[in-house]
Amino acid sequence: MRLFAAILFSDEVRQTLVLAIDLLKQQVRHGRFTCPENLHVTLAFIGETTRITEAKEALRTAVNLHPGSFPLRLRASGRFNDTIWAGIADSPELSVLAQDIQDELRKQGFFVERRAFRPHITLARRVNCKQIQLPIPAREINVTFVSLVKSEYIDHHLRYTEIYRVNL
Ligand code: 2AM
């Protein structure tokens, strides 16, 4: 299955992001908007694998290196080409957590790309608009767990399912 490690959100945080997506929908003609249950921050992309036990072990080991839950703050929106995202304010805890998860996955033999970690929450892809005005409330998120998430296409829709969770 196709897997990634991520931070998932409470209904309240998702609601804030859904309001931003609604605002975005008013400004663009086309786009593939992230559905509320799929909103997340990717910490490490694992890709196609059958080695689920090892992926869980890597997540557990990395999380055990950390002192506990920590706050994140939503930040202004931005874009990579035609992808629109909500930003995350700089967080040493988040960067170290993502790095440790990636390192533990590598120790377990997974290939994880060494690209710079730029935490974001994808709100929409394939958006055809030059300028967007998308304020994001600077709300705080308390991160209390990390998830292993399965990604699949069902009836042409992207579905993410949490298959494992480790509390911080
Ligand atoms: P995103 O975090 O920018 O939205 C599941 O596919 C998640 O992993 C998506 O959230 C996606 O991007 C991210 N992802 C997909 N392919 C990736 C890759 N090759 N490297 C890093 N992240 C990837």
Summarize pLDDT for 55-79 with one digit per residue, the tens: 999 999 999 999 899 999 999 999 9
Confidence at residue 84, expressed as pLDDT on a 0 to 100 scale: 96
Average pLDDT, the chain: 95
For ligand 1, atom 18, name the residue with the nearest CA: 45
CB 147 near ligand 1, within 6 Å:
no
**Cα separations (Å) of 90 from 16, 111, 117, 138?**
19, 26, 11, 12
CB 45 near ligand 1, within 6 Å:
yes
Rounded average pLDDT over 73-96: 95
Three-class SS string for the chain? CEEEEEEECCHHHHHHHHHHHHHHHCCCCCCEECCHHHCEEEEEEEEECCCHHHHHHHHHHHHHCCCCCEEEEEEEEEEECCEEEEEECCCHHHHHHHHHHHHHHHHCCCCCCCCCCCCEEEEEECCCCCCCCCCCCCCEEEECEEEEEEEEEECCEEEEEEEEEEEC
pTM, two decimals, is: 0.94
Residue 125 Cα: closest atom of ligand 1: 4
For ligand 1, atom 22, name the residue with the nearest CA: 45
Specify whether 30 is catalytic.
Answer: no
CB 4 near ligand 1, within 6 Å:
yes
pLDDT digits (tens, 9 = 90+) for 104-153: 999 999 999 999 999 999 999 999 888 888 999 999 999 999 999 999 99
